[in-house]
Amino acid sequence: MTELNSNNNNTENIENQQNNNNNTNNAVVFGSKYKHNLRSTVSIERTPNKYSDIIDLLLSPDLEIVSSLCSTTLVRETVPNSVHISEYLIVFFEYHCNLKSSYILKWAIDKEIENTSNSATLFRGLSTATRLISAFYKRVGESYLKYLLQPFVIDLCSRNFSFEIDPEKAGKGVNIQANLEKLITITQQLLDKILDSVDQCPLPIRQILNHTQEKVEKRFKSMKTTVVGGFIFLRFICPAIVAPEAFGLIPREEEPTSETRRGLVLVSKLLQNLANEMPFGSGIKEEYMSYLNDFITNNSTRIHVFFDSLAQDPTQQQQQIQPLQQQQQQQQQPSSTSTNLNATNNNNSNCSSNHTSSNNIGSGVSTPKLTSTPLGSVQQSSGNHNEDSNSNNNNNTTNTTTTTNNNNNNNINNNNNNNNNNSSNNKLNSIIMTEDSITDNLNVLMNQIIENREKIENYIQENGNIDSSSDIIKRLDTSLQAAKQKASYFNFWGRGKDKSNISGSGGGGGGSSGGPTTSNGKLKKSPSAGVVSNSNHIQQLQEKEREKEREKDKDKEKDKDKEKDKDKEKHASQKKLQLSQSQHTLVLDGISTNGGNINNNSNNNKSLLKNQGQLSEELEMRDQKEVDNLNLMAENSRLKKELEDAKSRNNLLRKLREELEREKSEKKELKLLIKRCNDRLKSLDDQLDLINDLQPWVDDNPPSGNHDLQSLIEETLGVGGSLSNRKKSNSSLGISKVRGYDTAPTTPTNTILSSSTTNIPSITNAMINHNNINVNICAINGSKDTTSSSTLISATSTPTISIVDNCTTATSSLQPSPQPNSQSVNLNHSTNYIPHLDVSCDSNNSSTTSSFYNNQNNLNSNNNIKKSSTNQSISESLMSEISEADESKSGSNISISSATIHSNSGGNNNNNNNNNNNSGSNGKGSNSTSGLSRKNSTTSEMSMADPTNYENQNLIIQTVVEGGEILDDSACDLLEFLKEVASKQELQKSKERQRLQEEKENKAKNSVFFKFSSKFSSKRRSKDGKNQPLSPPLSSQNSQQEKDSPNSGAALSLNN
């Protein structure tokens, strides 16, 4: 159907063209005829009559209805998927209108041109004309676009590479130059194809372009070509390139990628700018597109030719110029050839321009990159180097400046140093000058002093006696010698002439001294006159001689000094002889001396002016010099000797001083030794005094001791010879019993022997007699020795001290004493009861005896243990007491008494009785207490013994009472001790009762023990009552005094 319609349209078109020609010829006709003529024959014949009115309305000459429709639907057509009325209108006019769509298009274009005021916006915005034209292109030009663009687009889409030219979009790795080249090549290819496609373009399009160009040329002459370009490229070609899927060039499903689309956009932009004759430039649009301006300039001429050829209507040309067809053909041929040539030239130029542009671009692009990095780095490095070098140079310059400054400073310092040195030299010079001046002044002073002395001496000579003149002369000689020496020293150390003058003036004498000097001057004058007369050669010799003469002059001056000294001596001798001279002479001498000085000065001046020169004089002067030197050396040697002597003397003095110091030190040492000897002697004397003090005690002791012992012996022997016999029997019985049954009692006998042996060596010569007596007694009764010694010791001590000591010792002794007393009691009981029991047991029962023997053995063993313990305690007490000097005496007594107690406890009843008597007679508390304890023990023995023992007990009690009366103060103490003893006795009784009860429980059968216990208690009570009323005898007092002496002896022995 469509094909048939298109064929019909083609045929109709041809017919319409013919009709158009007629119409143009018949332009004058308008009105109904014209209307009737616009309608096509086909539409009249085929369409039904009922639509003819509508068609006639739409086909009205002014097209009012069409314009209103377009205006209302213009905007809405832009919405996608909407009704496009413009397309339907074109279809309608092509079918029903004789002129077809060109009629409506021309109408719209004319209207657009009339309404537009600004040429720039012509056919740019949305309008009916632009809208109808675009619809017309889609219907008519579809095949033309496919012919032009479809191969290009398909080829470009198949490739997958980018044409990005913008450096901001492209990455760093992309080569923009390559992309530019690609872009230009493909666009050039496309452009060539488009420009050669004039004949393939449909005629209706070309007719409309012709119409628009004619109309625009009338109103806007400048827009002639741009309008055509706008219609062809902006509205037809470029949109197809940018969106090929919308124009059916490629399937809609296959949309191009972003990269390919970017490439298509760039191509379209390039073609659009070419058509619009607008180059890419800076400040207008994208700057990176400016590289493509060469393409535009190269192709601008060809594009104009293309537009002109399109705008021409080929049909009109053929009709108008039918006879000139041949000419036209000829013209076309050279134009085509010319275009071909231009194309080739353009290609060449393009290639060259491309190369140049590529070179330029490459150089422009690469050079800044290449130069930027190395130049930057070089600049940086150079900057660094420059900075470093500058800094180094600055450092160097600073160093150099510092060095120069240092050098300058050094120079300045050197100058300063030089100045300092100069100043120091000046100072030294000044110091030297000062020294010289000092020496000169000293010389002057010395000379003045000498003069004054001489004057004083002269006065003394005048006033003094002749006798003293000799002394004065000697003194003057000595002074002169001293002056000479001083003068010689000054001459020797002198330097200038002035000094010699001064010395000369000092030694100035009378007029005679001036004479020889003048004579010497005369002699000097004559040789000088002779010399002057000689020639010039001699003058040189004269100068030399003058120098020599000057030296000689100095020597002469020295000689003059000596002469002056001699003159002085003469004057002195004269003065001495002429004591009678008056003061006027002295005054004249002074004047003469002054005159001499003046003469000397004048002579010296003359000598300087006048010159003399003789060898003889020179030799003489030399000899004199030598002599002078020798003299000086001699003097020096003398002085040295004197110094040595002085040194030796000093050394001697030092030695003497050292010797003195040594002697002093020795004396001190001796004194110390003497003091020490004296101290030793004093100590020895003290010892001797002590020894002497000891002697009278020794002398005093023997007679008293002898008397006491004798009295004691007599008393004991007188009292009872029978007792002695009985004692012996008792002792023999005791010993036999002990030896037979127990070994323990033997130990106390040994102790007695040891004590006696110890006592013997300590006694003095006087005591030996006493010992002899004691020895005799010991042969009888060993116990007496100890008692005798105790009595002696007690006698020596003072009564007050002894009392106090005894009390203290008694208290101490009481504590350990109860135990041995109890022991002794037990032992005594056992020993005393044995014989009776033995007799009874032997006679009656043997079994009982065995039991008693066993009990006795147990008791003895217990007693032995107790003794050992008590002995230890006693020994400790003794050591403590011996350390104390005052208490040592009483301690010894106690120890002896305690020893005796233990020894007596063995079974010697008689010995106990004797000891008790002796101890009671002492009258001391300690002895009394021991005596009482012994009494208790003896009471047990008395029960068994004979009645004679009762008398002994009474005697003991008397002695105790006598002691109390003598010492009233001690009586109270005794009473206290008695109370204490009573309390202890009660304790002992309680203990005894306990033991007895134990024995009773064990042995209830024996009734004998009960009897004995009752007897003991009754006897003790009776004794306590008896003690109180008794009175002591006077004889006992003497015995007490005698007894004190052995105590003192014992003390001395201990001290010794």
Partner 1 sequence: MSAFIYNNSNNNNSMRLCVMGDGGVGKTSITIQFISNHFVNCYDPTIEDLYRKQCLIDDQVYMLDILDTAGQDELNAIRNHWIKSCEGFILVYSVTSRSSFDQIQSFLDQIKFLKSEKVPIIMIANKSDLDDERQVTYQEGENFANRFGMSFMEVSAKYKLNIDEVFNQIAQHCVKRRCDHIYINKSIRNKNSIFKKFNQKLNNTFHSIC
Q: Does 74 bind partner 1 (CB under 8 A)?
A: yes
Looking at 43, 130, 791, 918, which residue binds partner 1 (CB under 8 A)?
Answer: 130
- Smallest gap from Cβ 391 to partner 1, in A, equals 37
C-alpha to C-alpha distance for 808 and 802, rounded to whole angstroms: 10
- CA 574 to chain CA mean position, Å: 98
Q: Does 242 bind partner 1 (CB under 8 A)?
A: yes
- Smallest gap from Cβ 219 to partner 1, in A, equals 16
Looking at 170, 195, 265, 305, which residue binds partner 1 (CB under 8 A)?
Answer: 265
Q: How far is CA 736 from CA 80, 83, 729, 796, 829, in A?
A: 173, 181, 10, 40, 17
Site for partner 1, residues 286 to 345, rule: CB under 8 A: 286-287
- Smallest gap from Cβ 247 to partner 1, in A, equals 8
Q: Does 871 bind partner 1 (CB under 8 A)?
A: no
Q: Does 536 bind partner 1 (CB under 8 A)?
A: no
Q: Provide the b/e sequence for 947-962 (b: ≥16 CB within 10 Å).
A: eebeebbebbbbbbbb
Site string for partner 1, 270-289 (x = CB under 8 A): --xx--x-x---xxxxxx--
Q: Is 495 helix (H, G, I), strand (E, B) or coil?
A: coil
- Among 954, 844, 823, CA closest to 898: 823
| Interface with partner 1: number of residues (CB under 8 A) | 44
Q: Provide the b/e sequence for 130-144 (b: ≥16 CB within 10 Å).
A: bbbbbbbbbebbeeb
SS3 of 309-358: the string is: HHHCCHHHHHHHCCCCHHHHHHHHHHHHHHHHHHHHHHHHHHHHHHHHHH
Choose the stretch contacting partner 1; rule: CB under 8 A; options: 28-36, 264-272, 664-672, 685-693. 264-272
C-alpha to C-alpha distance for 898 and 16, rounded to whole angstroms: 193
Q: Does 248 bind partner 1 (CB under 8 A)?
A: no
Backbone φ and ψ of 282, nearest 5°: -75, 135
Cβ proximity to partner 1, 166 vs 192, nearer residue = 166
The single-letter DSSP state of residue 257 is: P
Choose the stretch contacting partner 1; rule: CB under 8 A; options: 71-79, 411-419, 781-789, 1015-1023. 71-79
Looking at 35, 124, 427, 522, which residue binds partner 1 (CB under 8 A)?
Answer: 124
- Smallest gap from Cβ 22 to partner 1, in A, equals 37
Q: Is 43 helix (H, G, I), strand (E, B) or coil?
A: helix
- CA 512 to chain CA mean position, Å: 98
The letter for the amino acid at 405 is N
- Smallest gap from Cβ 176 to partner 1, in A, equals 14
- Smallest gap from Cβ 265 to partner 1, in A, equals 5
The letter for the amino acid at 3 is E
Long-range contacts of residues 620-626, Cβ cutoff 8 Å, at least 24 apart? 621/552, 621/555, 621/556, 621/559, 624/555, 624/558, 624/559, 625/555
Looking at 4, 27, 28, 120, which residue binds partner 1 (CB under 8 A)?
Answer: 120
Q: Does 365 bind partner 1 (CB under 8 A)?
A: no
Cβ proximity to partner 1, 176 vs 460, nearer residue = 176
Site for partner 1, residues 984 to 1023, rule: CB under 8 A: none
- Smallest gap from Cβ 39 to partner 1, in A, equals 32
Q: Which two three-digit tokens encode residue 487?
A: 């003068």
The single-letter DSSP state of residue 97 is: B
Q: Does 660 bind partner 1 (CB under 8 A)?
A: no
Q: Is 414 helix (H, G, I), strand (E, B) or coil?
A: helix
Looking at 145, 191, 227, 234, which residue binds partner 1 (CB under 8 A)?
Answer: 234
Cβ proximity to partner 1, 121 vs 322, nearer residue = 121
Cβ proximity to partner 1, 245 vs 973, nearer residue = 245
Q: Does 121 bind partner 1 (CB under 8 A)?
A: yes
Cβ proximity to partner 1, 100 vs 131, nearer residue = 131
**Contact in structure between 579 and 469 (CB atoms under 8 Å):** yes
C-alpha to C-alpha distance for 18 and 758, rounded to whole angstroms: 201
Other C-beta atoms lying within 10 Å of the C-beta of residue 907: 24
Looking at 126, 321, 351, 670, which residue binds partner 1 (CB under 8 A)?
Answer: 126
**Contact in structure between 149 and 246 (CB atoms under 8 Å):** no
- Smallest gap from Cβ 183 to partner 1, in A, equals 14
Q: Does 882 bind partner 1 (CB under 8 A)?
A: no
The single-letter DSSP state of residue 990 is: H
Backbone φ and ψ of 54, nearest 5°: -60, -45
Site string for partner 1, 157-196 (x = CB under 8 A): ---------xxxx---------------------------
Choose the stretch contacting partner 1; rule: CB under 8 A; options: 17-25, 36-44, 188-196, 227-235. 227-235
- Smallest gap from Cβ 284 to partner 1, in A, equals 6
Q: Does 62 bind partner 1 (CB under 8 A)?
A: no
Site for partner 1, residues 686 to 745, rule: CB under 8 A: none
Q: Does 268 bind partner 1 (CB under 8 A)?
A: yes
Looking at 203, 246, 646, 660, which residue binds partner 1 (CB under 8 A)?
Answer: 246
Q: Tokens 């490629």 correspond to what residue?
A: 250
C-alpha to C-alpha distance for 68 and 850, rounded to whole angstroms: 183
Q: How far is CA 488 from CA 494, 562, 633, 671, in A?
A: 9, 9, 12, 60
Q: Which two three-digit tokens encode residue 324?
A: 């000139």
Choose the stretch contacting partner 1; rule: CB under 8 A; options: 266-274, 296-304, 358-366, 466-474. 266-274
Cβ proximity to partner 1, 287 vs 436, nearer residue = 287
Looking at 31, 48, 125, 740, which residue binds partner 1 (CB under 8 A)?
Answer: 125
- Smallest gap from Cβ 113 to partner 1, in A, equals 15
- Among 312, 281, 316, CA closest to 297: 281
The burial of 796, by beta-carbon neighbours within 10 Å (0-12 exposed, 13-18 middle, 19 or more buried), is given as buried
**Contact in structure between 269 and 289 (CB atoms under 8 Å):** yes
Q: Does 261 bind partner 1 (CB under 8 A)?
A: yes
Q: Does 225 bind partner 1 (CB under 8 A)?
A: no
Q: Does 560 bind partner 1 (CB under 8 A)?
A: no
Q: Does 78 bind partner 1 (CB under 8 A)?
A: yes
- Smallest gap from Cβ 211 to partner 1, in A, equals 20
DSSP for 905-944, written as a single string: TTT-HHHHHHHHHHHHHH--HHHHHHHHHHHHHHHHHHHH
Cβ proximity to partner 1, 142 vs 462, nearer residue = 142
Q: Does 863 bind partner 1 (CB under 8 A)?
A: no
Q: Does 3 bind partner 1 (CB under 8 A)?
A: no
- CA 484 to chain CA mean position, Å: 80
Backbone φ and ψ of 285, nearest 5°: -140, -150
Choose the stretch contacting partner 1; rule: CB under 8 A; options: 122-130, 361-369, 578-586, 785-793. 122-130
Q: Does 75 bind partner 1 (CB under 8 A)?
A: yes
**Contact in structure between 569 and 480 (CB atoms under 8 Å):** yes
Cβ proximity to partner 1, 246 vs 523, nearer residue = 246
Site string for partner 1, 762-781 (x = CB under 8 A): --------------------
Cβ proximity to partner 1, 115 vs 710, nearer residue = 115
Backbone φ and ψ of 412, nearest 5°: -60, -45
- Smallest gap from Cβ 268 to partner 1, in A, equals 5
Q: Which two three-digit tokens encode residue 877?
A: 């007490």
- Among 100, 109, 102, CA closest to 128: 109
Q: Does 245 bind partner 1 (CB under 8 A)?
A: yes
**Contact in structure between 450 and 506 (CB atoms under 8 Å):** yes
The burial of 322, by beta-carbon neighbours within 10 Å (0-12 exposed, 13-18 middle, 19 or more buried), is given as exposed
* Chain residues in the site for partner 1 (CB under 8 A): 74-76, 78-80, 117, 120-121, 124-127, 130-131, 134, 166-169, 230, 234-236, 238-239, 242-243, 245-246, 261, 265, 268-269, 272-273, 276, 278, 282-287
